[in-house]
Structure formats: C-alpha cells, structure tokens
Amino acid sequence: MKLLLFIPTLYFAFIQIANSQSNLFDKYCDKITSEVDKFTGEKTYKTPILKQVVFYKVIKDGSVTVYMRLSTIGSTPPTGNGVIILLENGEKITKDVETSVNVNSAAQFEHSAFFSLSQADIELLKKHRITDARLYIFDMKIRQPDQYWGYINCLEGMK
C-alpha cells in the first residue's frame, strides 16, 4: 500500500524538477532575438549584447554554427592570438584565433575575439559555467556566469 502511494509522489516530484529546470532558462530564452535574412533565408539567433560574452546561432541550408564573442578591457592596444576559457569544473576551451582591439566610448582599449564553437565546446558550456577568460594577454573574471550558461542552454533548443 505504501508503495502505491510512493509511486505517484515520486512521479509528481520528477515533473516538478523537470518544470523547474525549464523555468530556470525561461528568463534567458525570452531575451534571445532572431532574424531571417530575406535574401539567403539564413536564420540568426543572438543573445543580448553584454559586456563580456555574446552567443550567435546561425542556421543556413540546414547547417548550424554557434559563434561566441568575448570582450574585455585591456591596458594597452597591442593584440595577438589566443583565447582560453576556464570552466567551473577545471576544464579549458582554447581557441587559436586572432583578437582585435577598438577604443570604446569611454576611451578604453576593448579587446575582443569572435570564433565558432565545436559541438564538444557547446556541450562543455551547457554543463559547466565559465569562470574566467583570457584574450591574448588580457584576463577577465566572468561576472555573470549563470546568465551566459542560461543563454547557451537556450540556444541549443532554438531551430
């Protein structure tokens, strides 16, 4: 008899957990914008442009590519190659990409890198939050890791 009462309780608990996980990402998913290129049919999803991280998901002819843009303030204008992303579980994502620099409206050197993510990179980012990143020689602490974690998880379901 106790088993018969336990099974429905367990079922409803499972449903609640599944719903709370979905609700966890809702506030991020609602902020992602999309547009379709009227000439090529290419569909692009974009997370809000924030100071440190932006994700883009581009779908063209059935092919999907996810891009990441990292930005940080550096003390000097020189740029170089290399991005390292540190995750909360101790793993790293490294990219041998060129960084660029611009002077922003506050007269600061804003260093950035734009690159595609592999499916393995995406899976790591969906499971583990970003803690820090290095662009060339400029390190930054990620200030809102939950937000970026939420965005990458939302993008995965957008078709």
Its pTM stands at: 0.83
Contact status, residue 27 vs residue 41, Cβ threshold 8 Å: no
Local structure of residue 64 (DSSP, 8 states): E
What whole-number distance in Å separates Cα of residue 127 and Cα of residue 139? Answer: 22
78 lies in which domain range? 31-157
User: Is there a domain that residue 13 lies in?
Assistant: no
User: Is there a domain that residue 11 lies in?
Assistant: no
Q: How many domains are there within the chain?
A: 1
User: Is there a domain that residue 3 lies in?
Assistant: no
User: Is there a domain that residue 22 lies in?
Assistant: no
Tokens of 61: 């002819």
User: Is there a domain that residue 139 lies in?
Assistant: yes
CATH number at residue 39: 2.60.40
User: Is there a domain that residue 24 lies in?
Assistant: no
> Would the pLDDT of 14 be above 80?
no
pLDDT digits (tens, 9 = 90+) for 61-114: 999 999 999 999 988 888 899 999 999 999 999 999 999 999 988 899 999 999
User: Is there a domain that residue 10 lies in?
Assistant: no
User: Is there a domain that residue 121 lies in?
Assistant: yes
